[in-house]
Structure 1
Amino acid sequence: MASNKEEVKLFGIVQSPFVTRVEIALKLKGIEYKYEEEKWGNFSDTLIKYNPVYKKVPVFVHNDKHLSESLVILEYIDETWKQNPILPSDPYKRALGRLWSNFIDDKCLNGVRKAVFTLDENEREKSIEEIEVVLQFLENELKDKFFGGEKIGLVDISAVFIAFWLPIIQEVKGITLFNFEKFPKLYNWSQDFNNHPIVKEKLPTRETLLAFYKVVLFQK
């Protein structure tokens, strides 16, 4: 467990699913931390100093060490604080967890960005089809209540964007990517995940994200 002498700090913004990933992991582990809210589009000098390459949230600070990139931070947290592991002990299962988490970022998040921001109608339709293929892979992979079995694990936390952000984005944009009819197992998972007490505590309000994406997705 973290002692009182340890500094654990997280720089983030409320709109970021990547920041929420880290908050969920810290809460699951029972780690106390200080949260530093950054301003969208105007990050602090401190954040830039800690993350000069990417200049984005989240930035995680543990004593004199600082890390960026949410999946890297999640693994560091899991290896530093052993209680309530989010990755299995079996090497093969751990590797699969990393594989699917990277798959979500590489294929799903990037696909959604293309689908909502591209101006070309044909490109948008192609992106939507690609996202549905990705979601079908995840639908097929889901064997239990959570990807981590009966308990939340790395893949579940990585997929918070799908569970909570994606339905809001598709509502604002007026497109349908993810619902019960298309992906019943994945949809039921999203409900269980969003309503998990620890996850629910760390999710931003739906109203906050709706207001944010109405500006971001329709700004001129």
Structure 2
Amino acid sequence: MIKLVGFWVSPFVLRVSWALKLKGVEYEYIEEDVFNKSPLLLELNPVHKKVPVLVHGHNVIVESFVILEYIDETWKQYPLLPQEPYDRANTRFWAKFAEEKLMRNSWTAMCSQGEEKKLCLQSALEDLEKIEGELKGKGKFFGGENLGYLDLVLGWITYLVPVWEEIGSMTILDPVKFPCITAWMQNFLNHPVIKEDLPPREKVDAYFQNQRKEYAARMGSTNTG
């Protein structure tokens, strides 16, 4: 029995769900309340206490990058990572770059104001420019004609960044500046596996509106503490 413990809007969970579906692996999904963590989550992931968690028989695997590689090595159909060692290393590099740089900068730009917002937005645009360069000449996806590891890792851009742009009154995904990413987004969102497994836009909007308010409240209490 395969189980995936997750949270409905989490990009880290969704990339694991997409990988399992691409490979045709059936699993049971268990929704977790990440704001009131269950005994199950604390038992399965006592170190980080976060989702996603993949349970495969007696094996418990945590951290989405690690889970994706585990899935790819366990179920050989529909390979996600490239076969060549250099290409695999390059894929891992860009996955880490997008997570540590673009995601953080985009999120902070949405939540913040003033100079901090300006700096984070500029950094996010520079990050995206680098990813645009990596995508050039690749085909429909980073993995060529088929969705691959890097597409799944960067999939959050397609459904979260438009929401963050709207909430933060900013523009990151300029189609003129980033034509390759714009085309990739359309291809990604139109893929049957992705289409059927995206959270509702209105629900995502409401969730991140609330997250932004909480961020502002935390920053306010920090500045006045």
TM range (shorter): over 0.9
Is residue 217 from structure 1 mapped to residue 221 from structure 2 by the alignment?
no
The share of aligned pairs that are identical, in percent, is 43
Counterpart position of 1:21: 15
Q: Following the alignment from structure 2 to structure 1, what is the Cα–Cα distance between the partners of residues 203 and 20?
A: 22
Q: Which runs of 5+ in 1 are unaligned?
A: 1-6
Q: Does the residue aligned with 2:5 lie in a helix, a strand or coil?
A: strand
Counterpart position of 2:119: 126
Question: 2:174 is matched with which residue: 173, 179, 184?
Answer: 179
Is residue 188 from structure 1 mapped to residue 179 from structure 2 by the alignment?
no
Counterpart position of 1:138: 131
Counterpart position of 1:115: 109
Q: Which runs of 5+ in 2 are unaligned?
A: 218-225
Counterpart position of 1:4: none
Question: 2:150 is matched with which residue: 148, 155, 158?
Answer: 155
TM-score (norm 2): 0.91
Q: How many residue pairs end up in the alignment?
A: 213
Is residue 168 from structure 1 mapped to residue 150 from structure 2 by the alignment?
no
- Tell me the amino acid that sits aligned with residue 130 of structure 2: F
Q: Following the alignment from structure 1 to structure 2, what is the Cα–Cα distance between the partners of residues 16 and 177?
A: 20
Q: Following the alignment from structure 2 to structure 1, what is the Cα–Cα distance between the partners of residues 182 and 163?
A: 14
Counterpart position of 2:220: none
CA deviation profile, 1:55-110 (whole Å, cap 9, x unmatched): 11111111111111111100000000000000111111111111111111111111
- Tell me the amino acid that sits aligned with residue 126 of structure 2: V
Question: 1:99 is matched with which residue: 73, 78, 93?
Answer: 93
Q: Does the residue aligned with 1:88 lie in a helix, a strand or coil?
A: coil
- Tell me the amino acid that sits aligned with residue 82 of structure 1: K
CA RMSD of aligned residues (A): 1.2
Q: Does the residue aligned with 1:115 lie in a helix, a strand or coil?
A: helix
Q: Following the alignment from structure 1 to structure 2, what is the Cα–Cα distance between the partners of residues 67 and 169?
A: 30
Q: Following the alignment from structure 1 to structure 2, what is the Cα–Cα distance between the partners of residues 33 and 141?
A: 33
Q: Following the alignment from structure 2 to structure 1, what is the Cα–Cα distance between the partners of residues 151 and 126?
A: 19
- Give the CA deviation at 1:194: 1.0
Q: Following the alignment from structure 1 to structure 2, what is the Cα–Cα distance between the partners of residues 200 and 32?
A: 18
Contact 2:7 2:34 in 1 (8 A): yes
TM-score (norm 1): 0.93
Find runs of 4+ consecutive structure 1 residues off by over 2 angstroms: 116-119
- Tell me the amino acid that sits aligned with residue 74 of structure 2: T
Is residue 72 from structure 1 mapped to residue 66 from structure 2 by the alignment?
yes
Q: Following the alignment from structure 1 to structure 2, what is the Cα–Cα distance between the partners of residues 179 and 32?
A: 37
Q: Following the alignment from structure 1 to structure 2, what is the Cα–Cα distance between the partners of residues 23 and 100?
A: 21
Question: 1:60 is matched with which residue: 54, 63, 70?
Answer: 54
Q: Following the alignment from structure 1 to structure 2, what is the Cα–Cα distance between the partners of residues 212 and 173?
A: 14
Q: Following the alignment from structure 2 to structure 1, what is the Cα–Cα distance between the partners of residues 171 and 205?
A: 16
- Give the CA deviation at 1:52: 1.4
Counterpart position of 1:36: 30
Q: Does the residue aligned with 1:202 lie in a helix, a strand or coil?
A: coil
